[in-house]
Amino acid sequence: MTQFQLFQCIPAYKPGPTSRLIKSLFKYNCKILLDLEDSIQNVLNPKLNSLLKAQARKDFIAILAFIPERKISLRINRVGSEEFENDLILLDQTKNRIESVFLPKVESMEDILIFQSCTSNKFKLNLILETKKGIENIDQILSPTYKVLIDKVFFGNYDYHLDSNIFPVHEQSSDWYWNTIKQIISSIEQYGYGFGNSPYALISDTTTLQQSMLKLNKICSNPYALMSLHLQQTKVLFRTNTTQNLDIKSSEFEGIEDLKTSFIKNLQKGRSFSFDNQRIITPQEYFLATAKHKCQD
């Protein structure tokens, strides 16, 4: 069975509860990824995002103080974005506690060059390809130049759909998803890198989550990575270690109005993702549903 790394992605906020969650994850042998990007935003009032991200950086430092024995990975904001320079300052302040840096929305080798030129420390990198341009430029991005620094190359399914204006989202139970990532995995592995699978927002659908892992065991030749969005997913992935054939049906698509209503109703303070104990509704899905609704008017 192909080896894999498991990352639990957690918003960088609420230092007390977050540090307790992190400590509870140690027994599951997963790496911790704290997020300053997608999960730290106010979808309904973007003017607040700068303040939210500034607070998240303070919370990140506080979380590190609660768990001095561990190094943490950090997903920063997009290279060249308004928040990028502030993230660089944070990385310099905490460089001895950083296991790896996740670079989102990488679209060219230039993004990696810019990041490297702005940091004195040679951080281990995990790239996230989640735009049409990024996928189209995959051969240029995966140059051998930075092979010593790059660990995994992740696919970001939800942002890819948003960037491509595809709605509804093709989830990991769909043929579209697997046909797409097989091509991506082939490109990534021919350059000697490992693939990182997109997170899966349907928390209650543990069967598809398990099946994704089992499929990747067969498809990937190099060690790969999985990303969990919830403790329940981490537990399931930790337990899933045997191959089995499961009958997977496509996830039921919610109507546009149902999705928008559920997102707003279950949106939690300080979070960009809406959670109703059955699934996470991502901000990308909300944006796509809103745009689709406007087109229908």
Return d(Cα 217, Cα 27) in angstroms, integer.
22
What is the pLDDT of the chain when averaged over all its residues? 90
pTM for the model: 0.85
Identify the weakest region by mean pLDDT among 11-15, 82-86, 147-151, 283-287.
283-287
Position 296 confidence tier, pLDDT thresholds 50, 70, 90: low
State mean pLDDT over 64-87: 97
Q: Report how far apart, in Å, the C-alpha atoms of 172 and of each of 86, 206, 209, 210, 268 are.
A: 34, 11, 8, 11, 25
Give pLDDT, residue 292: 64
User: Does the structure show a pLDDT above 90 at 295?
Assistant: no
Record: fold of 4-247: TIM Barrel (3.20.20)
Higher-confidence residue of 259 and 55: namely 55
Assess whether pLDDT exceeds 90 at residue 79.
Answer: yes
Going by pLDDT thresholds of 50, 70 and 90, the confidence category of residue 82 is: very high
The answer to whether residue 135 scores a pLDDT higher than 90 is: yes
| Residues forming beta bridges with residue 129, ordered by sequence position | 155
47-55: long-range contacts, CB 8 A cutoff, minimum separation 24: 50/82, 50/83, 52/270, 53/77, 53/83, 53/86, 54/86, 55/13
Q: Residue 56 and residue 64: Cα distance in Å, rounded?
A: 12
* Residues 267 and 43 sit within 8 Å (Cβ to Cβ): yes
For the chain, domain boundaries:
4-247
* Cα distance from N-terminal residue to C-terminal residue, the chain: 50
How would you class 197 by CB atoms within 10 Å of its CB: exposed for 0-12, middle for 13-18, buried for 19 or more? buried
pLDDT at 145: 77
**The pair of three-digit structure tokens given for residue 89, joined into one six-digit string:** 């300052």
- What HEC string does 134-197 produce? HHHCHHHHCCHHHCCCEEEEEECHHHHHHHHCCCCCCCCCCHHHHHHHHHHHHHHHHCCCEEEC
Asked if 188 and 142 count as a contact pair (C-beta separation under 8 A), the reply is: yes
The pLDDT value given to residue 288: 79
Q: Would the pLDDT of 235 be above 80? A: yes
Lowest mean pLDDT among 12-16, 227-231, 236-240, 265-269: 265-269
pLDDT > 90 in the chain, percent: 77
Q: What's the confidence (pLDDT) of residue 252?
A: 44
* Bridge-based pairing state of the strands 125-129 and 98-103: parallel
- Using CA atoms, how far residue 49 sits from 26, 55, 171, in Å, is 31, 10, 28
Confidence of residue 243 (pLDDT cuts 50, 70, 90): very low
Predicted local confidence at residue 294, as pLDDT:
60
CA 168, CA 53: separation in Å to the nearest integer? 29
Strands 280-281 and 274-275: antiparallel
